[in-house]
Amino acid sequence: MKKIVGFVGWRGLVGSVLLERIIKKKDFKNFKFVFFSTSQVGFNNLYLNNFFKNKFLKDAYNLEELKELDIILTCQGSAYTNQVYYKLRKCGWKGYWVDAASDLRMKDESIIILDPINREEIIKSLNKGIKTFVGGNCTVSLMLLALGGLFKNKLIEWISFSTYQAASGGGSGYILELLKQIIFLNKSLNKDFIASKSILEIEKNVTEISKKSNFPKKNSLVPLILNLIPWIDEDRNNGQSKEEWKMEFETNKILSLNKKDKISIDGTCVRVGSLRCHSQSFLIKLKKNINLLDIEQIIASDNKWVKIIPNNKKSSLENLTPLSVTGTLQIPVGRIRKLSIGNKYISAFSIGDQLLWGAAEPLRRMLNFLI
């Protein structure tokens, strides 16, 4: 009999990308999907009916309905998870909970899913009876897919990173606000002024517009366009942001590394104005001196999505920008070179779509594991 999957949070940014993938890959044929809503209970969604033959949206807070499911797949966010997950487990529900939100990641009872990297761990945990599976932080997942070969071959002593994270990582509100900022600038700029003034006068004018109190910045707090935001997620009050903390914590959990083998990873996470691709620059200290061709070979052979981009200007501009990767599952890794500071130090630069490999794809693949 087909397993019954209850899908919650399928209208949001990650949920919509996941739904798109489920439809594209025809996964809906392998399961019986039931759609839930926190706000539109009873609505008949005509779009869903084209694929899933489910007439009405069910109540995402109704434990009796949820208890009937084999699998709950949620992209609804941490607030929903916290409100429903524990109650459901408490009343004896033994189904699989597959979650995009971060809250359950830190729990011992959960596995962070990224199967090209920790497939064996996922299988072991299924055999052990683990029932809670959580997608990783997007930046972490994208780093692991990019450098999986170096991690798996235990070649990394430590990594320092700088990220360039897309607006989408902050949610749809960030994307819409970025667009509103573009429109605000466009409306405020005067073509005749630009045509007649010196570049410094124009720059001053643009800066003044960006600093206006009514510039749209409800989500981002400061303008994202023509600017950047050097802090992502909460302040941990030790100088590190929560996003930066996740890099080391989640990586070591995904790789199941114990205290002795733990890899140190730290750096600075920054939001920039790209739409849905996160970029990351890595400074890596290897455990030994390995020649560059071997390093590239190790990185390239880890998974079928990773691709080495030759370290030259033309290839980098063509293949190593957010725009060249957006909407795809590719993980290009370029700018790989030995650094002048020592023969064990290399740099690398990687990009990935944070809504696909960074969020939706590991969840979709987990569903298929559960068949």
Instruction: Please report, as ranges, the residues that interact with ligand HSE according to CB under 6 A.
Output: 137-138, 165, 169-170, 232-233, 243, 354, 358
Q: Which is nearer to ligand HSE, 170 or 216 (CB)?
A: 170
Q: Which is nearer to ligand HSE, 149 or 358 (CB)?
A: 358
Distances (CA, A) of 208 to 99, 117, 217, 246: 43, 47, 15, 36
C-alpha pair distances (Å), 110 with each of 4, 97, 161, 191, 326: 21, 9, 26, 56, 30
Measured at CB, which residue is nearest to ligand HSE? 169
What is d(CA 290, CA 132) in angstroms, rounded to the nearest whole number?
Answer: 39
Q: Establish whether 278 is a catalytic residue.
A: yes
Q: Which lies closer to ligand HSE via its Cβ, residue 178 or residue 336?
A: 178
Q: How far is the CB of 165 from ligand HSE (least distance, A)?
A: 4
Closest approach of ligand HSE to the CB of residue 147, in Å:
18
Can 269 be counted among the known catalytic residues? no
Residue 202 or 222: the one with the smaller Cβ distance to ligand HSE is: 222
Residue 165 corresponds to which tokens in the numbers above?
A: 């994270």
Measured from the CB atom, the residue of 34 and 138 that comes closer to ligand HSE is: 138
Least CB distance from residue 277 to ligand HSE, whole Å? 11
Annotated active-site residue in 75, 269, 277, 278 = 278
DSSP string, 135-202: EPPHHHHHHHHHHHHHHHTT-EEEEEEEEEB-GGGG-HHHHHHHHHHHHHHHHH--HHHHHHS-HHHH
Q: How far is the CB of 354 from ligand HSE (least distance, A)?
A: 6
Neighbours of 285 (CB within 10 A): 17
- The answer to whether 97 and 85 have CB atoms below 8 angstroms apart is yes
Q: What is the C-alpha separation between 41 and 57, in angstroms, rounded?
A: 5
Cα–chain center distance at 67: 29
Q: Toward ligand HSE, which CB reaches closer, 95 or 135?
A: 135
Of the candidates 45, 281, 291, 326, the one whose C-alpha atom is nearest the C-alpha of residue 160 is: 281
- What is the crossing angle of helices 199-210 and 172-188, to 10°? 130
Check 75, 91, 138, 269 and give the catalytic one: 138
Work out how close the CB of 148 gets to ligand HSE at its nearest, in angstroms, rounded to a whole number: 18
Taking the complex as a whole, the smallest distance from the CB of residue 370 to ligand HSE amounts, in Å, to: 22
CA distances from 330 to 278, 287, 300 (A): 12, 28, 12
Q: Please list the active-site residues.
A: 138, 278
